[in-house]
Amino acid sequence: MPATTLQARRSLAQRYLAAQSALLKGLCVAAALGILLVLALIVYYLVAHGISHLSRRFFTALPIPPGMAGAPGGMLGALIGSALLVALAGAAGIPLGLLAGIYLAEYSDNSRLGAPVRFTADVLTGVPSIVVGILGYELVVVPLGHFNGYAGAAALAFILVPIVARTTEEMLRLVPASYREAAYALGAGKARTILTVVIPAATGGLVTGIMLAIARIAGETAPLLFTALGSRLLTCDPAQPFPSLTVQIFVYATGPYRSEHQLAGAGILVLIALVFILNVLVRLSVHRLQTGQTAR
């Protein structure tokens, strides 16, 4: 075959591959712009319907029933209640999720429990939150005889545990095997290697996974409707019906009063802003931690 013909075919093949690459890149850019456009529309809607109704009273006043002076009041109790519920759920669920993830990543290779535990975590991750709420109602609310904050925290922890467990497993498996082998060569045992080498190397991913799980449960409403129920009072006793921002937003958004609709819009904006700020702070902290480890 003449050299000119081979050269022409190679040139044609290169142009074809370049066209394919350009088309794929264009599709990726279009998809990314589409996602950004949807996000921008959501943010615009939230800001347009919520920011004008934010005030100092929103953060300092308790909800006031319709028909009374000063109604609908603010969401102080709901903000404090959500913070306490997330804290209780995190205190119970994060250690369990981390330990389960460590077991799946480091100890499950020669264990019969590895596959069932991993499968169960995957299934629980996809369970609708309303099912978790019904489960919390049957296991906690019914035996105690009334709605309470402990049932709400337990339902949120039930959602959090499988997410943290699977994220922890994946992050630990990304740590190179050479790290473990170097620690074993220096005489460290398996537990010491995990605690002092593997987990520190995966800290960034672990913290990110935990924060994603917290962001997930912070926006849940259905489980709390069946468990904590909600309250207009400012209470720190989880043994009683407990307030939360998401339930308060749901009640106001589905109510007949325009003033409550406006307050619900402000509540949604505050909830999204809190989750966003929390994620930004965590990313900055993780970046500083990783930078410090690299410097050492």
pLDDT at 2: 61
The secondary structure element, H or E, covering residue 278 is helix 258-295
Query: So what's the pLDDT on residue 283?
Result: 75
Residue 2 DSSP one-character state: -
**pLDDT value at residue 194:** 94
76, 90 Cβ separation under 8 angstroms: no
CA distances to 55, 102, 116, 236 from 227, rounded to whole Å, are: 30, 30, 29, 16
Q: What is residue 1's predicted lDDT score, i.e. its pLDDT?
A: 52
Q: How far is residue 174's CA from residue 176's CA, in Å, rounded to a whole number?
A: 6
Q: Where exactly are the structural domains of the chain?
A: 3-53, 59-295
Give the three-class secondary structure for 125.
helix
The architecture CATH gives domain 59-295: Orthogonal Bundle (1.10)
Which CA distances in Å does 115 have to 99, 106, 110, 111, 191?
16, 13, 10, 8, 22
Give per-residue burial for 229-267: e unless 16+ CB within 10 Å, then b. bbbbeebeebebbbbbbbbbbbbbeeeeeeebbbbbbbb
Q: What is the mean pLDDT of each run of 10 residues along the chain (296 residues)?
A: 70 85 93 94 88 90 86 91 94 95 90 90 91 94 93 95 94 92 91 93 87 89 93 86 93 90 92 84 72 61
Please state, in angstroms and rounded to a whole number, the distance separating the CA atoms of residues 273 and 76.
16
The span from the CA of 133 to the CA of 186, in Å, is: 49
Question: How far is the C-alpha of 220 from the C-alpha of 208, rounded, in Å?
Answer: 19
**What angle (nearest 5°) sits at the alpha carbon of residue 223, between those of residues 219 and 42?**
25
| pLDDT for the residue 12 | 82
